Chains A and B, each alone.
Chain A
Amino acid sequence: MRLTEEQQLLRDAVRVLADEKIAPRAAEIDRTATWPDDVRRLLASHDIFAIPFEERHGGLGSDLLTLCLAIEQISRVCATSGLILAVQALGAIPIQVAGTVEQQDRWLPGLASGEMLIAFALTEADAGSDPSGIRTRAVRDGDDYVINGTKRFISHGSVADSVVVFAATNPDAEKASRRLSAILVETDRPGFKVTRVEHKMGIRGSPTAELAFDNVRVPVANRLGDEGQGFAIAMKTFERSRPGIAAQAVGIAQGALEVAAAYAKERRQFGKPIAELQMIQSMLADMDAATEAARQLLYAACEAIESGNGDAARWAAICKLVAGDAAMRVTTDAVQVLGGYGYIDEYPVERMMRDAKITQLYEGTQQIQRLIVARSLLAGS
């Protein structure tokens, strides 16, 4: 996959920033499980948040591949930090695909500058892979909606300035896919509350929150798209956001591969560097192959999705599927290469392995991705 000069320039600039400013923070972010606001400000001041937004909103007007290049480079050194960019991009997509010009002009510049943070709230306690379990209600009352319900596992939910909430505006709709609407809720509205922040296996610096809506009143003007379009907006969103998670996964895998390869060259056993042992070489080679394959598939998916290829859903699912599994495999093998040292926090691979797992779970589990790929395949188109 040949990158344009612009893509290479931006990728290299993000790489340098990640190596010099973010990498030194990664272990501490994980150990203290603290939201790294300094990294958020760094991304803002270097225009990295601007990547997925149009120039008229203060963005760089870059394509999906460029965004993924940036997420990959940051995730290589810190998965939590890479997620900051990915979640911001995710939360903005409903506004970009379904918002009116006025809504876009109102909300997107603050997101592009990184001054405001946004979260995406679809999941609930009883609605993960199966969105038909969504119970959060948005009831029309004059010119407002009144929202009641609870969302679970919302990335950035406790630090976001606004949340795109998927709530049922027509719970009795004939077609289940017409029940939901997407509504942007500013988090300073009365009745909005963060009721829980999870303690997680990985991406520990990224706050994953439970959000309670207790008669939260928002103007109808905050609704994105028409009533009943919520599910479609969510599906359309995933077409563009899943590659971002694939990019995070590829970055994590690459980071782990680099640590393992460097370690193998230094570590001496049986009178020589373990890099000279064939079993180690075999593992490293498979790790490299898996990472590269995931990367190239991701880049191809970005191009296909950006070009408006009819099967964006399939491309998004397939690249996220492959990358997530690659990240888990590569990081697990990286710990193996480092042996006992891989298990302790003196080396970053144990963190990378813990970080990798989420890429097989969120934005659609691997099982959901497989259903999407199979559906597309078997539809015969």
Chain B
Amino acid sequence: MRIVVLTKPVPDPAAGAERLGPDNRLDRAASPTVVNGNDEYALEAALQLVEAHGGEVVILTMAPANGTETMRKALAMGAARGIHVTDDALAGADLPTTIRVLAAAAGQEAFDLLLGGLDTSDGAGGAVTAGVAARLGLPLLSTAAHIEPDPAAGRVRVRRLSAKGYDIVEAPMPAVISCTQALGAPRYPSLKGIMAARSRPIAAHSLADLGDGLAPADGAWATRVVAAEPPTARAAGRTVTGSATDAAREIADFLADRRLI
């Protein structure tokens, strides 16, 4: 099987150093980057699938030039190769452009499955994977908690999380799947993986390599951020200590005052 996994380098949420630049775009140099959390789950699922069925996992990333650092970690986890789409013209790219570019790059690979994380920690739009599926005219199986391909039959079955539990959803391959954390914790790269990753290939593509008309000609994105500010702090709360019964009484009074009980 060939599985393409969309991965996005994002500011490390643990570092807490994300900042918006003066133009209200994410200052991607301000913070150490890591692979987007949900993408790691997608990648882990892909690695397990090719371990079971044979084949290769290919990482696809659209990122600035330094995006290769986080790609190396994905390669260290076991991906066979990477595709890095990078172009100055893509700085601050909007969602429709990102979708067109990723679809164009993915479309150059003959894949059985295209996996993406459910959403990103730095954008949280959750729309990229769906958009790429639509652009490629492929079925989308979203919010996956379990993936079961049947390569012989050319179909894939997914458990799609629902409000009540999950739905079992099926489509012919090639198909696109957005992945949740329920798929299982990503592996730590082994040291051998880290060493091997240094020699695994990352193919660089510019916009021109992928085709015409992917980005708006005049560089005008579809959306823009007009203002950004830190969130309004909540008013300071009250701390309660003391016995459990005293605390319970205080909580009950507090809730009653606010008509919550």
Interface residues of A (CB under 8 A from B): 6, 9-10, 13-14, 16-17, 45-48, 50-51, 60
Contact = CB atoms under 8 A, between A and B. Distances in A.
Given A6-B198, A46-B191, A47-B191, 20 more contacts: A6-B195, A9-B194, A9-B195, A10-B191, A10-B194, A13-B188, A13-B189, A13-B191, A13-B194, A16-B188, A17-B188, A46-B188, A46-B190, A47-B190, A47-B192, A50-B191, A50-B192, A60-B191, A60-B192, A60-B195
Bin chain B's interface residue count.
Answer: under 10
Contacts of A9: 194-195, 198
Contact of A45 (B190, B194, B195): B190
22 contacts: A6-B195, A6-B198, A9-B194, A9-B198, A10-B191, A10-B195, A13-B188, A13-B194, A14-B191, A16-B188, A17-B188, A45-B190, A46-B188, A46-B190, A46-B191, A47-B191, A47-B192, A47-B193, A50-B191, A50-B192, A60-B191, A60-B192
Most chain A beta-carbon neighbours within 10 Å: one of B188, B190, B191, B198 = B191
A10 B194 CA distance: 8
Contact of A48 (B189, B191, B193): B191
Contacts of B189: 13
Contacts of B198: 6, 9
Interface in B68-124: none
A48 B192 CA distance: 9
A51 to B, nearest CB: 7
A27 B193 CA distance: 30
A45 B191 CA distance: 9
Contacts of B190: 45-47
B236 to A, nearest CB: 19
B61 to A, nearest CB: 19
B33 to A, nearest CB: 15
Interface string B195-229: 10010000000000000000000000000000000
B123 to A, nearest CB: 25
A13 B195 CA distance: 11
A14 B195 CA distance: 13
A379 B189 CA distance: 48
Contacts of A50: 191-192
Nearest to A12: B194
Nearest to A47: B191
A375 B193 CA distance: 44
Contacts of A60: 191-192, 195
Contacts of B193: 47
A50 B196 CA distance: 14
| 6 closest residue pairs by CB, A with B | A47-B191, A47-B192, A47-B190, A46-B190, A9-B194, A13-B194
